Amino acid sequence: MDYKRLTIRGISYSQTQSGAYALLLEHEETNIKLPIVIGNFEAQSISLGLEKDIHPPRPLTHDLFSKFVTAAHFEISSVIIYQIIDGVFFSNINFKNKDSGEEMILDARTSDAVAMAVRFEAAIYTTQQVLSEAGILLELDDLSKQEETIDQMAGEGDLVALNLEELQKLLDDAVKDEDFDSALEIQEELKRRKKKID
């Protein structure tokens, strides 16, 4: 299968879900962004994994599992985000034994898989289908300069009442503000309309 490589672009606090964060992954070739809502603990663990110089006084769960994987003479070769169902991402962690070359695949929550990938500097991949379903393309030059925010516009009426141009503006603003939960809702409305046209 032709997998698409992703890079971590950042983690931000979710403006719509209390206590949640948005992990932003990006496809290197097309710049399509893949926003994934994750919990506070996972966001902290991924951030600490990315910051190699910061070491917590006691090992986090992902650090402990990383030590176990290394002690068992395995390494993580890659992480694959292979599916999205009802907004939930599904991932596999691919392990390889350093001695025998034996390969092993474990199902994992995407946030855990990414937290492990950063500790082993393993590649993160996804499928074209996942990118098509959940990806957001952000063109920085085309961002609208109007001052209305997504919350203000959405508060004036339901997304269904807006035209395509207004929805696209809302989507651009949501991505700019890193409000990925709202961006996903708007993108679903855009996809629903495109299906009707097709």
Report the amino acid identity of residue 84.
I
**Are 108 and 168 in the same domain?**
no
User: Which CATH number is 51's domain given?
Assistant: 3.10.690.10
Q: How many domains does the structure of the chain reveal? A: 2
Q: Looking up tokens 């603990």, which residue turns up?
A: 41
Residues 95 and 111 in one domain: yes
Domain-ending residue, one of 134, 151, 180? 134
Would you put residue 125 in left (φ > 0), alpha (ψ -120 to 50) or beta?
beta
Residues 46, 117, single domain; the answer is: yes
| Residue among 178, 147, 136, 179 nearest 30 (CA) | 136
Are 126 and 145 found together in one domain?
Answer: no
According to DSSP, residue 161 is labeled G
User: What does the alpha-carbon distance between residue 22 and residue 181 come to, in Å, rounded to a whole number?
Assistant: 8
Residues 36 and 114 in one domain: yes
Asked whether residue 29 falls in the same domain as residue 99, the answer is yes
The answer to whether the Cα torsion of 2, 127, 35, 50 is positive or negative is negative
| CB atoms near residue 151 (< 10 Å) | 16
Q: Which of 114, 134, 154 is the last residue of a domain?
A: 134
For 40-173, where are the E strands, in sequence order?
74-85, 88-97, 103-109, 123-126, 136-137
Contact 102, 143 (CB under 8 A): no
Same domain, 17 and 75: yes
Which of the listed residues 134, 162, 179 is the one where a domain comes to its end? 134
> Do 35 and 90 belong together in one domain?
yes
Expressed as residue numbers, the domain containing 174 is: 140-197
The rounded distance, in Å, linking the Cα atoms of 23 and 34 is: 8
Q: Indicate whether 16 and 81 sit together in one domain.
A: yes
Residues 55 and 95 in one domain: yes
Instruction: Spell out the per-residue pLDDT of the chain, length 198, in tens.
Output: 689 999 999 888 776 677 788 899 999 888 899 989 898 889 888 988 888 777 777 888 999 999 999 999 999 999 999 999 988 999 999 999 999 999 999 999 999 999 999 999 999 999 999 999 988 876 543 333 333 333 344 343 466 667 777 777 887 777 777 666 676 677 777 777 666 555
pLDDT for res 143 = 37
148 in the same domain as 119: no
Is 182 found in the same domain as 164? yes
